[in-house]
């Protein structure tokens, strides 16, 4: 019997009170706010459940079981645990004294069925024309940022957009916790590691990014930038590694650029603010903005914007290529929206024809070529 099999069996026992939710494909997240208060996210909406752990000790035992499997400890001196279950689901736990009401446990489930852009079209999150536009942008090797708030589906959208990368390219994927699953065969996956109890064995996203540059990548896909590795990513984008993709927490394209700028300044390389801003503005070509609507829990692309660099006052400039417009509701109360062309062409509108990509353009001819 393998170690993983033993752990899965013990996990089923300790996490028994939430086992049904972990196996329910419609549940994307399980949130334990204390042993007797459990919420789940289902189809984008939060629901309180009747489930509960037998006691605080029972909940704490489940967390210690996870910590033991990943070789970490959680106690009063180290009250926070980040780990991953065998199926790839992410686990985050906080215990007292940092958790004031008791023990908190959050499990974001791993998506077994990775969405393609066709799936997003079917779900109404993306239009056929927007799909084609993004596919052309990927083939043109534009650097793309997927922006959105927590729970908007940034990672799923990044995975979907990556399907447009040509099969013959070498792709290096860098993540804090492995979630992406690219369709291309020549994909290499790097995952950061937390240090053990004695501070050994830790590998940061930034270290992985630097290592990836020596692996002859055609593309670098970063699951999410959260710290100083943003500077390494931005500098690689402007020095030959174009066609890169990443996600960032931001509610507007402008905020996405500010976020990348701020993260770049968190690097141990001391650079002036105006230099960081200029590099971010030069590196990013397209921002895809995602929004989760509280009315029905749906997640949609609300705009696709092109970055136009900086204006005379060193402020980020954008032009919206596509913007989502609400059209009403379904009989079930779901919001209906359509991502429509604004009439503005991207500054790189001629590039598909310069690179012999006419055959890729069927639905978006009005977006490309000279006016």
Same-domain status, 103 and 129: no
Cα–Cα distance, 299 to 119 (Å, whole number): 13
Query: Is the pLDDT confidence value at 313 over 80?
Result: yes
CB 44 within 8 A of CB 297: yes
Same-domain status, 84 and 145: no
Same-domain status, 40 and 164: no
Same-domain status, 163 and 305: yes
Same-domain status, 173 and 85: no
Cα–Cα distance, 157 to 352 (Å, whole number): 23
Same-domain status, 324 and 348: yes
Domain carrying residue 230: 117-367
Low-confidence winner among 2-16, 161-175, 308-322 (lowest mean pLDDT): 2-16
- Which CATH number characterizes residue 77's domain? 3.30.450.90
Domain boundary among 75, 108, 141: 108
Same-domain status, 139 and 49: no
Same-domain status, 155 and 198: yes
Instruction: Give the count of beta carbons closer than 10 Å to the beta carbon of residue 337.
Output: 21
The pLDDT value given to residue 115: 74
Same-domain status, 29 and 151: no
Same-domain status, 21 and 125: no
Q: Identify how many contiguous H helices and E strands the chain contains and give both numbers.
A: 11, 15
CB 297 within 8 A of CB 288: no
Query: Is the pLDDT confidence value at 371 over 60?
Result: no
Same-domain status, 196 and 98: no
Domain boundary among 80, 108, 136: 108
Backbone torsion region of residue 102, taken as left when φ is above 0, otherwise alpha when ψ lies between -120 and 50, otherwise beta? left
Q: Which stretch of DSSP H or E encloses residue 254?
A: helix 253-265
The most confident of 39-53, 76-90, 111-125, 127-141, by mean pLDDT: 127-141
- Which CATH number characterizes residue 242's domain? 3.40.50.300
Whether the upstream peptide bond of residue 97 has omega within 30° of 0, thus cis, is yes
Q: Report the domain count for the chain.
A: 2
Low-confidence winner among 64-73, 108-117, 240-249 (lowest mean pLDDT): 108-117
Give whole-number Cα distances, 138 to 168, 186, 286, 316, in Å: 14, 17, 10, 22
Same-domain status, 206 and 62: no
pLDDT tens profile 96-141:
999 988 999 999 887 666 578 998 898 888 899 999 999 999 999 9
Which of the 8 DSSP states describes residue 193?
A: B
Which residue is associated with the tokens 């447009």?
Answer: 164
pTM of the entire predicted model: 0.85
pLDDT tens profile 319-334:
999 999 888 887 777 8
């Amino acid at each position: 019997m393998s170690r993983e099999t033993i752990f899965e069996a013990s996990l089923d026992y300790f996490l028994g009170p939430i086992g049904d939710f972990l196996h329910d494909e419609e549940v994307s997240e399980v949130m334990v706010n204390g042993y007797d208060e459990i919420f789940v996210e289902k189809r984008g909406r939060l629901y309180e459940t009747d489930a509960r752990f037998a006691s605080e000790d029972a909940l704490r035992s489940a967390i210690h079981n996870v910590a033991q499997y990943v070789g970490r400890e959680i106690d009063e001196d180290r009250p926070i645990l980040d780990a991953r279950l065998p199926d790839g689901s992410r686990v985050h736990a906080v215990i007292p004294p940092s958790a004031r009401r008791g023990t908190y446990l959050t499990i974001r489930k791993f998506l077994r069925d990775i969405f393609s852009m066709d799936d997003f079209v079917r779900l109404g999150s993306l239009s056929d024309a927007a799909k084609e536009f993004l596919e052309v942008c990927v083939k043109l090797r534009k650097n793309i940022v997927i922006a959105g708030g927590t729970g908007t589906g940034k990672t799923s959208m990044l995975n979907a957009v990556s399907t447009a990368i040509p099969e013959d390219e070498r792709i290096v994927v860098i993540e804090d916790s492995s979630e992406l699953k690219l369709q291309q065969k020549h994909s290499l996956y790097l995952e950061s590691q937390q240090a053990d109890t004695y501070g050994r064995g830790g590998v940061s996203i930034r270290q992985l990014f630097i290592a990836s540059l020596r692996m002859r990548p055609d593309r670098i896909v970063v699951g999410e930038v959260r710290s100083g590795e943003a500077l390494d990513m931005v500098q690689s984008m402007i020095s030959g590694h174009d066609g890169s993709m990443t996600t960032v927490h931001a509610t507007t394209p402008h905020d996405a650029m500010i976020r990348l700028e701020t993260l770049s300044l968190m690097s141990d390389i001391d650079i002036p603010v105006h230099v960081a801003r200029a590099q971010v503005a030069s590196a990013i070509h397209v921002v895809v903005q995602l929004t989760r609507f509280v009315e029905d829990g749906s997640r949609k692309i609300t705009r696709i914007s092109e970055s136009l660099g900086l204006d005379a006052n060193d402020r980020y400039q954008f032009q919206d290529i596509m913007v989502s417009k609400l059209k009403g509701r379904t009989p079930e109360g779901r919001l209906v929206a359509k991502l429509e062309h604004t009439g503005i062409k991207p500054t790189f509108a001629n590039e598909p024809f310069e690179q012999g990509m006419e055959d890729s353009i069927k639905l978006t001819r009005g977006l490309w070529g000279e006016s």
